[in-house]
Amino acid sequence: LYASSNIGSFLALLSYPVLLEPMFTLRSQNLIWTGSYSLLVVLIAACAVLLLRSPVMVAADLPAEDADAAPPPWLLRARWIFLAAVPSGLLIAVTAHISTDVAAAPLLWVLPLSLYLLTWVLVFQSRPLLPHQWMLRLQPLAIAGVVVLLAIGGEQNLLLTLGGHQLCFFVIAMACHGELARTRPAAKYLRGFYVALSFGGMVGGLFAGLIAPFTFSWVAEYPILLALAALCRPPGEERFARWSAWYWPILAALALALIAPSYFDGKFMTWLDTYRVWMIGAVGVLAALLALGLNADRWKIFATVVVALVLIRAYPADKGRVETVRSFFGGVHKIVMTPHGQYHVLMHGTTIHGAQKFQNDDGSPVTGRPEPITYYHKDGGIGQAITSIRERKGGALRVAVIGLGAGTLTCASEPGESWKFFEIDQTMVDTARDPRYFSYIKNCEPGLKPVIGDARLTFAKEPDGAYDLIIVDAYSSDAIPIHLATEEAMAIYKDKLAPQGAVAMHVSNRHLELVSVIVGIADANDLKSWVYNEDPKRDDEYIFATEVVVSAREEADVGALASSEDWALTDPDERQRAWTDDYSNVLGAVWRRLRHREE
């Protein structure tokens, strides 16, 4: 029964993004869920009526071993909670890690959650497809595998890294849940057993989902829970027990010898840093050998894994200096200082959201007004749109920008112009203001007071006809704000435009094809759209390929863009349904992006 319930959850999880979301509006989905739950209530009530009307049945005698079974001790109950908490927390931690440090891709959370549900299905089968002893033997190798993957970093062979993290998570979760299935009590105590499982899942989720994000500036919960997974192993009798006491001083000496050099400069430090992956991997493999070869005490395995994980922090994979900022909205942003501090780069996962050049190629500091780079260079789509609208108006612009990022666009303004920024995340504002990271705001708009809150709500309060140009820059990551890319959202932007104003939507995204979405919602509001998609081939200067859609009422409103060879007047795809507040299709956008790559 427990396995069947998880199969249902597993199928429902996969069916929603694949079947329900692309086919039905939110209103239709609401009606489907309401009808389904109503039917469920009716069926449960019918079962209750049938049970009340059925003849009294004599309960079958319990097996002797169940009838005489002692209640589970409290220590075992606590272990059930622990065994349920670790994989539950790991689920959230793995998802956060792969979407932060590996690849910020849409619907990526579906994969680890599917594997998590699958483990419950497999371990509670009457004849498990994957024997528990196999999983216990593979678990130390899986922990060592994650250690190596963390040491290597997230950008080396993306698919292998994603698959490796999830395969290792699956094995670890199977071992933990298998231990739960192995130690489940007699039938009359199963109620308490399943309560412990539920409580443990809640504890793990609270730690990884609520406590850790407010406590750590990086995804520290992943290595913490990985180390705790070693304690989920069952106790066993150590081989060569009389020599095992020597392991603790040997491990302490090893940890001191490897960690201490990270605080100093020198040839040994340089050598360790060069061979960091081999060094950290060797310590991780040592933990696996302790478990498989010596059947060592789980605390020794735990301590060895902790040493390996500390080494990862002592010898980071990123070149240059890296600082992390974690926000209320679940994102972990990295500020990467390239070697010698030439560039400061704002990243989420492997997606760059902004950068600033602090040193020239000869090592001298950059002086004067910072030049916008990444997607906002003057020769790119956003830069051309700003210049064209400015020339068309022949005067100072009134501009609204949704999305602050590193504050790059503050330096696209000119004296006498009015630029107003809308940002949902105060953490991003603090990061952009901090001169240790970026100086765009300090140099170009020191008095900037961005409007904090959901831009769909805050921008709707702006007076109609107030802006010559509205720039929407919120779509470069995986979790795009769909409510800012709907027919109703575009209607708000149109209302706020001056009579000859234009909307510029920055839609550069590695995972989602959003150009056709923007063209569709613009057409639904009787706006024409011009699309820019060019690659300047200057990635080494942090000037990237850009996709921009500019929408306006008339051709004359966009000035020189209308006749530029870089911009194409684009009609909506009649086969594609316009996104609204009631309908969107993220999976379709993913599929179109994949199809365009193949072409």
Give percent helix, percent strand, percent coil of the chain, each to the nearest 5.
55, 15, 30
Of residues 127 and 443, more confidently modeled: 443
Considering the domain architecture, whether residues 283 and 388 belong to the same structural domain is answered as: no
pLDDT at 579: 92
- Would the pLDDT of 476 be above 70? no
Considering the domain architecture, whether residues 208 and 122 belong to the same structural domain is answered as: yes
User: Which residues have CB under 8 Å from 294's CB, separation 6+?
Assistant: 238, 239, 240, 244
pLDDT at 340: 80
Encode pLDDT of 327-350 as tens digits.
766 567 778 888 788 999 998 766
Centre a 10 Å sphere on the Cβ of residue 99 and count the other Cβ atoms it contains: 24
Residue 564 is encoded by which pair of tokens? 């530029």
Centre a 10 Å sphere on the Cβ of residue 237 and count the other Cβ atoms it contains: 7
Encode pLDDT of 72-128 as tens digits.
899 999 999 999 999 999 999 998 887 765 555 556 678 888 899 889 888 887 787
Encode pLDDT of 44-57 as tens digits.
999 999 988 887 66
Of residues 263 and 423, more confidently modeled: 423
User: Tokens 């991780």 label which residue?
Assistant: 284
Stated as kind and residue range, the H or E segment containing 467 is: strand 467-472
Closest by CA position to 112, among listed 222, 200, 3, 199: 222
Write down which residue in 314, 333, 354 finishes a domain: 314
Considering the domain architecture, whether residues 305 and 392 belong to the same structural domain is answered as: no
* 53 HSE (CA, 13 A, CB side): 6
**DSSP label of 68:** T
Considering the domain architecture, whether residues 418 and 552 belong to the same structural domain is answered as: yes
Asked whether the beta carbons of 148 and 281 are under 8 A apart, the reply is yes
pLDDT at 391: 93
Cα separation, 19 vs 522, whole angstroms: 26
Cα separation, 500 vs 465, whole angstroms: 9
Q: Supply φ then ψ for residue 405, to 5 degrees.
A: 60, -130
Between β-strands 497-506 and 467-472, what pairing exists: parallel, antiparallel or unpaired?
parallel
pLDDT band at 232 (very low <50, low <70, confident <90, very high): very high
Encode pLDDT of 407-442 as tens digits.
999 999 999 999 999 998 888 899 999 999 999 999
pLDDT band at 228 (very low <50, low <70, confident <90, very high): very high
Between β-strands 451-452 and 418-423, what pairing exists: parallel, antiparallel or unpaired?
parallel
325 in a structural domain: no
Cα separation, 161 vs 139, whole angstroms: 18
What's the mean pLDDT when you consider all of the chain?
A: 86
User: Tokens 């040994």 label which residue?
Assistant: 268
Residue 144 is encoded by which pair of tokens? 């060592």
Closest by CA position to 488, among listed 578, 568, 402: 578
Closest by CA position to 225, among listed 30, 87, 412: 87
Closest by CA position to 453, among listed 480, 494, 421: 421
Distances from the Cα of 369 to the Cαs of 131, 272, 284, 358, in angstroms? Answer: 65, 41, 48, 11
Cα separation, 308 vs 254, whole angstroms: 11
Considering the domain architecture, whether residues 127 and 275 belong to the same structural domain is answered as: yes
Write down which residue in 314, 345, 369 finishes a domain: 314
Considering the domain architecture, whether residues 82 and 213 belong to the same structural domain is answered as: yes
Asked whether the beta carbons of 399 and 414 are under 8 A apart, the reply is no
579 in a structural domain: yes
Asked whether the beta carbons of 261 and 318 are under 8 A apart, the reply is no
Cα separation, 543 vs 431, whole angstroms: 21
- Would the pLDDT of 561 be above 60? yes
Centre a 10 Å sphere on the Cβ of residue 387 and count the other Cβ atoms it contains: 16
366: left (phi over 0), alpha (psi -120 to 50) or beta: beta
Sheet of 332-337: strand order equals 321-326, 332-337, 343-348, 351-357
Cα separation, 164 vs 309, whole angstroms: 17
308 in a structural domain: yes
Cα separation, 371 vs 439, whole angstroms: 11
251-267: average pLDDT: 83
pLDDT at 245: 74
Between β-strands 418-423 and 528-534, what pairing exists: parallel, antiparallel or unpaired?
unpaired
Cα separation, 28 vs 34, whole angstroms: 10
What is the per-residue burial (b if ≥16 Cβ within 10 Å, else e) of 337-358? Answer: bbeeebbbbbbbbbbbbbbbbb
Write down which residue in 314, 332, 358 finishes a domain: 314
Asked whether the beta carbons of 185 and 69 are under 8 A apart, the reply is yes
Considering the domain architecture, whether residues 308 and 425 belong to the same structural domain is answered as: no
- Mapped onto helix, strand or coil, the DSSP state of residue 489 is helix
Considering the domain architecture, whether residues 305 and 418 belong to the same structural domain is answered as: no
pLDDT at 89: 95
User: Tokens 């670790």 label which residue?
Assistant: 86
452 in a structural domain: yes
User: Which residues have CB under 8 Å from 10's CB, separation 6+?
Assistant: 114, 117, 118, 121
Domain of residue 194: give its range. 71-234+243-314
Q: How many domains does the chain have?
A: 2
Cα separation, 389 vs 249, whole angstroms: 70
106 in a structural domain: yes
Considering the domain architecture, whether residues 452 and 529 belong to the same structural domain is answered as: yes
Segment among 166-175, 250-259, 376-385, 542-551 with least mean pLDDT:
250-259
Radius of gyration of the chain (CA): 29
376-393: average pLDDT: 94
38 in a structural domain: no
428 in a structural domain: yes
Q: Supply φ then ψ for residue 250, to 5 degrees.
A: -65, -45
pLDDT at 196: 94
115 in a structural domain: yes
User: Which residues have CB under 8 Å from 308's CB, separation 6+?
Assistant: 147, 280, 283, 284, 287
User: Which residues have CB under 8 Å from 464's CB, separation 6+?
Assistant: 495, 496
Considering the domain architecture, whether residues 444 and 557 belong to the same structural domain is answered as: yes
Q: Treating both helix axes as pointing N-terminal to C-terminal, what angle do 2-15 and 110-123 enclose, rounded to 10 degrees?
A: 160
Considering the domain architecture, whether residues 150 and 271 belong to the same structural domain is answered as: yes
Model pTM score: 0.78
Cα separation, 101 vs 541, whole angstroms: 22
**CATH code, domain with 524:** 3.40.50.150
Considering the domain architecture, whether residues 392 and 274 belong to the same structural domain is answered as: no
Cα separation, 357 vs 347, whole angstroms: 15
User: Tokens 């060879």 label which residue?
Assistant: 565
pLDDT at 57: 61
